[in-house]
Amino acid sequence: MSDAYNPPQDPLVVLHEDAQLLVLDKPAGLLSVPGKGAHLADCLISRAQAAFPDALLVHRLDRDTSGVMVFAMTPAAQRHLGLQFEKRQVKKTYVARVWGQLETKDGTVDAPLIVDWPNRPRQKIDWDTGKPAVTDWKVQRYEDHATRVRLFPQTGRSHQLRVHMLSLGHPILGDPFYATGEALDAPRLMLHATELRLRHPEGGRGMRFVSKPPF
């Protein structure tokens, strides 16, 4: 991956805003939080806080992943949402285009993950010391040399979807860490957080936020 960080300068796309919640559509190529060094300061949380000073971080998306990202607007909402993520009560749906043709229409990858220290931030499957990681997947349609799938992570490990798809022999197209050869031939990482379901911090009603995949 290139060290050059040139995030898109698109205006903020607000999917929802109220006294407790702010939901944004993160573009691919933009960090969720600042990286180390002034050159990595530009990120979605800083842009959000420029427009919404009370916005607080709840979760993250990888730099190269686009889609729905929720922020809290009060410390109480941040705690409430944080617990929902921690207890795996938030339902997340991603869309991805993966290399090759998946043989079956759906399945589950249950493979524990751990950071690959010599090659961090890469992650790897480790059956002895990895943390539990589970991903359900379902084919949407087949393309010439790829498969479009919906991914339903049951856990929230770093790079989980990327490593789990790789473990099936079908890396996500354009993945700078895990794809090789022709699978790298894509304009971006073909992974998008398309839907997020959670309970509103005030009153607990079910909320659903959707962002259409840009690919």
Domain ranges of the chain: 14-89, 93-191
Give catalytic status of residue 64 as yes or no.
Answer: no
> Quick check: do 14-89 and 93-191 share a fold?
yes
Q: Are strands 14-17 and 56-57 parallel, antiparallel or unpaired?
A: unpaired
Catalytic residue among 3, 18, 62, 175: 62
What helix, strand, coil percent values describe the chain, rounded to 5? 20, 35, 50
The pLDDT, as a whole number, for residue 3 is 61
User: Could you tell me the CA-to-CA distances from 119 to 39, 173, 177, 178 in Å, in that order?
Assistant: 22, 20, 10, 11
- What CATH code is assigned to 93-191? 3.30.2350.10
The low-confidence residues of the chain, meaning pLDDT below 50, are 1-2
- What is the predicted pLDDT for the residue at 131? 98
Among the residues of 35-127, which ranges form H helices? Answer: 44-51, 75-86
Residue 82: how many other CB atoms lie within 10 Å:
15
Q: According to CATH, what is the number of the domain 14-89?
A: 3.30.2350.10
Q: What is the pLDDT of residue 4?
A: 87
Contacts of 142 (CB under 8 A, 6+ apart): 101, 148
pLDDT of res. 1: 45
